[in-house]
Amino acid sequence: MTSAQANGITIEYEVVGSQSDPPMLLVMGFGGQLVFWPRPFVEQLAQRGFQTIIYDNRDVGLSTKFDNPGYSLDDMADDGMGLLDALGIESAHVVGASMGGYIAQRMAVRYAARVRTLCSVMSTTGDPTLPPPRPEIAGALVPATPASREEAIDQAVASARLIGSPGFPFDEDAARRRAAVSYDRCFHPAGRLGHAFAVATAPDHTAELAELRLPTLVIHGGDDPLVSPLGGEATARAIPGARLVMIPGMGHDLPEGTWTTVVDAIVANADRAGT
């Protein structure tokens, strides 16, 4: 992993795969560091012929922190494009998960010529008429500040279980390892407040999505308790020609049992662009 200066901030990133392969930018969601992407999942994309780029969004991990956050998801979309600039990459396939899916959508809206294909995973359009998450689900994403490393890890595991996939086994060991790596790498709970502000102030951009003309894939869990499956359906309906893949039993995560389906769908969507 290394860092780059992009969009006026420092962004920590990692490239997996050959730099001679077509680039694919993976955008993580709310409060998640780049280590939230399951490593075997990232490696599968690299093995399928993509220079796979993962990075820490602003305010998490080893990227720049903000004392007085007031940034938007558009600012975060600009960060991702700025990272591509720093890497000398003109255009890339873009895949975003959860909040990262909305950021990826904003990249496509704001930088249409630079997004080869779009994949929005377990995300939505910002339409306020869509069902919100249950209060106990949303509240678990911004818990009280833990008093210790152990408590922080326990909170993260409990949250992962709460929003996880009821149709797939919950891998508590993997969740605990991910939480420990995240804590040791950078414990910065204030960053979640900045992300929460960006999400809360994000507009309904359904009309802008309707102007997109690029191969688009929408993936959503049929049992997502955080972002309603109706959000995925709305996203696919908004973007002309978008393909919707609804995975039964999948919640608001990427359990191992979904990886083959998700990777195959992402690769097939990228192939639609011809590069």
What is each CA distance from 68 to 33, 97, 170, 187, 212, in whole angstroms? 20, 25, 36, 18, 33
Cβ(58)–Cβ(19) under 8 Å?
no
pLDDT in tens, the chain (275 residues): 699 999 999 999 999 999 999 999 999 999 999 999 999 999 999 999 999 999 999 999 999 999 988 999 999 999 999 999 999 999 999 999 999 999 999 999 999 999 999 999 999 999 999 999 877 787 777 778 899 999 999 999 999 999 999 999 999 999 999 999 999 999 999 999 999 999 999 999 999 999 999 999 999 999 999 999 999 999 999 999 999 999 999 999 999 999 999 999 999 999 999 87
Nearest to 119 by CA among 134, 132, 100, 138: 100
According to DSSP, the residues that pair with 118 across neighbouring strands are: 94, 216
194 within 8 A of 221, measured Cβ to Cβ = no
User: pTM for this structure?
Assistant: 0.97
CA dist 13 and 257 (Å) reads 26
The one-character DSSP state at 91 is -
- List phi, psi (to 5°) of 199: -70, -45
Q: Report the interhelical angle of 73-86 vs 190-200 (nearest 10°).
A: 110
CA nearest 98: which of 268, 238, 232, 258?
A: 232
Looking at domain 2-131+189-271, its CATH class is: alpha beta
Burial of 197 (0-12, 13-18, 19+ CB in 10 A): middle
- CA end-to-end span of the chain: 26
Q: Determine contact, residues 54/190, Cβ cutoff 8 Å.
A: no
